[in-house]
Amino acid sequence: MSKKLIALLLAVLMILSVSACSSTQKTESSAESSKEEVSKNSEAAGDETAVGFDYYKDYPKDISGEIEFYQQKPEIEEYMYGVIDEFMELYPNITVTQNVQNDAASNLQTRAAAGDFTDVWLYWPTDMVWNAFYDEGYLMDVSDQPYLAYASESVLELFARDGKYYGVPEANNAAGIIANVAMFEENGIALPEDWDSFIAACDAFVEKGITPIGLTLKDGADCARNILLGDYVPGEEIKAVSAGDKKLSETDFPKSVDDLTKIYSYANDKAISSDYNTGLTDFANEESAMFLSGNWTFASIRGINPDIKIEQFPLPSSAGRGYICSGVDVGYTIGANTKYPEACNAFVNFLVSQPQAEKYCNLDAAIPAIKDVVVEDTTAKRMVDKVAKGESFNWPNHFFPAGGAEQLANQASTQFYMDIVELGEEQAKKNYIAQMDGIMDGSIK
């Protein structure tokens, strides 16, 4: 008991010192590249952690093994190398190799088909791929691991199957509107609170000749669709639709399409030829006042334009629940067939420990899924509050039928946008709803 108390005290101390450290750094080095900031952060944290946190837990120090850390967030590759180095200093007999893959899902699938899985896997649960691996017994049951206690229960539940846990979360994401605060202030427009003020703000920008919303419809990864769909149609209902018990058009989905149409009408002219990368760059270069995306873009946006002032707020809807879209951003799962389960568990224990989680959440302005993590960044404060109040839903695309449904739905969004231009709003909506119905019941493949 007392040991825990001391640990907690030390942790609090450490949080204070780290946050103080990082805040002074920010003012100092706003012009410097984010890369340097990361390395500085990790150095600072590294010095503290040696005393601040018991990274060993119930694991002996002399565990050995060679494990692969498999992850698909290339934007944190370098950061992760720093983390791994720290870990290997603590456990000199464990070697961790990082494997960053672009098409992680299909790459892992290929390996699994050939009977080979990875050791520690950075992924998000509830997604179809994760479920498929779970179904086939590729994921390790970690229910008895001490590190589960670090995670906040509600998020941890996402990793539960049949009362057992198959992974542990580190951080959550949140998707909504990212606003260029300076552009709002310069034009005397207040940040919207609800649907009406949101539309009013869009109109005001149009009047000033400014593109209100930047959308990235080329690669179809359409945040707007997901957010609105999830806001109007709860996950359980989408699951029912996927199971074939219901049609999507019988839910509130058509209402979300109305809102979607409205949002599309405020989009940039180039929305259709803009993919995620180009859209983000353009928003960072102030080509639109708002951008629809998640907290994972903050670092990239600031990397492109260090002077930009951004704030994220929930995307309102005209008649929805007013919830926000938030799912697991980073979670760790261990392969059931790993040769070195002890080493894997020690590594995951290290990754989701409070100091490491705090370091990560502050890097990405992520919403912590680990207890006692303090995030300095207030960019997404309104999102964090919503999540805290329980007014959030998991990514609806995670409940789509297995297989290519999500890909097809993305293409349908692109098609919808093109149809609005060519066939007019009413016909386009009809086509889109019919298309989505077909995708969900599997008649369109």
72 or 197: CB nearest other proteins: 72
For residues 173 and 73, the answer to whether their CB atoms sit within 8 Å is no
Q: Which of residues 245-274 bind other proteins (CB under 8 A)?
A: 269-270, 272-274
Q: Cα–Cα distances in Å, from 94 out to 26, 68, 90, 323, 406?
A: 34, 11, 9, 43, 39
Please tell me whether residue 75 binds other proteins under the rule CB under 8 A: yes
User: Between β-strands 164-165 and 160-161, what pairing exists: parallel, antiparallel or unpaired?
Assistant: antiparallel
3-state secondary structure (DSSP) of residue 163? coil
SS3 160: strand
Tell me the backbone φ, ψ of residue 382, rounded to 5 degrees.
-65, -30
In the complex, what is the shortest distance from the CB of residue 185 to other proteins, in angstroms, rounded to a whole number? 20
CB 5 → other proteins: shortest distance, Å?
40
Does 200 sit near other proteins (CB under 8 A)?
Answer: no
Residue 184 to residue 363: CA distance in whole angstroms: 26
Tokens 């949140």 belong to 174
Question: What are 9-13's contacts with CB under 8 Å, separation 24+?
Answer: 10/51, 10/52, 10/53, 11/52, 11/53, 11/354, 11/355, 11/372, 12/372, 13/52
User: Minimum distance between the CB of residue 36 and other proteins, rounded to whole angstroms?
Assistant: 11
Q: Which of 88, 90, 105, 204 binds other proteins (CB under 8 A)?
A: 105
Cβ closer to other proteins: 34 or 152? Answer: 34
**Which bin fits 137, alpha (ψ -120 to 50), beta or left (φ > 0)?**
left
235-242 vs 223-232: helix axis angle to the nearest 10? 100
Q: State yes or no: residue 322 binds other proteins (CB under 8 A).
A: no
Residues 6+ apart with CB under 8 A from 103: none
Stretch 284-303: interaction string toward other proteins, x if CB under 8 A: xxx---------xx--x--x
Does position 445 interact with other proteins (CB under 8 A)? The reply is: yes
404 touching other proteins, by CB under 8 A: yes
Give per-residue burial for 247-269: e unless 16+ CB within 10 Å, then b.
Answer: ebeebbbbbbbbbbbbbbebbbe
Binding mask 339-378 toward other proteins (x if CB under 8 A, else -) reads ----------------------------------------
Establish if 282 lies at the interface with other proteins (CB under 8 A).
yes
Tell me 217's DSSP state: -
Least distance in Å: CB of 98 to other proteins? 10
Verify binding: residue 56, other proteins, rule CB under 8 A. Answer: no
Based on the shown chain and the rule CB under 8 A, indicate whether residue 38 belongs to the binding site for other proteins: no
Q: Is residue 119 a contact partner of residue 334, using CB atoms and an 8 Å limit?
A: yes
Site string for other proteins, 416-435 (x = CB under 8 A): --x--x--------------
Residue 437 within binding range of other proteins, rule CB under 8 A: no
What x-and-dash track marks residues 120-159 binding other proteins by CB under 8 A?
--------xx--xx-xx-x---------------------
User: What is the maximum span of the chain, computed from C-alpha positions, in angstroms?
Assistant: 70
Contact with other proteins (CB under 8 A): which of 304, 336, 374, 434? 304
Give the count of beta carbons closer than 10 Å to the beta carbon of residue 195: 17
- 407 binds other proteins per the rule CB under 8 A: yes
How many residues bind to other proteins according to rule CB under 8 A? 65
Interface pick for other proteins out of 218, 246, 255, 309 (rule CB under 8 A): 218
**Least distance in angstroms from the C-beta of 407 to other proteins:** 6
Nearer to other proteins, 235 or 303 (CB): 303
Q: Beta strand 324-325 with 392-393: parallel, antiparallel or unpaired?
A: parallel
Residues making contact with other proteins (CB under 8 A) = 35, 73-75, 78, 97, 99-100, 102-103, 105-107, 109-116, 128-129, 132-133, 135-136, 138, 218-221, 269-270, 272-274, 276-278, 280-282, 284-286, 296-297, 300, 303-305, 402-404, 406-407, 411-412, 414-415, 418, 421, 444-445
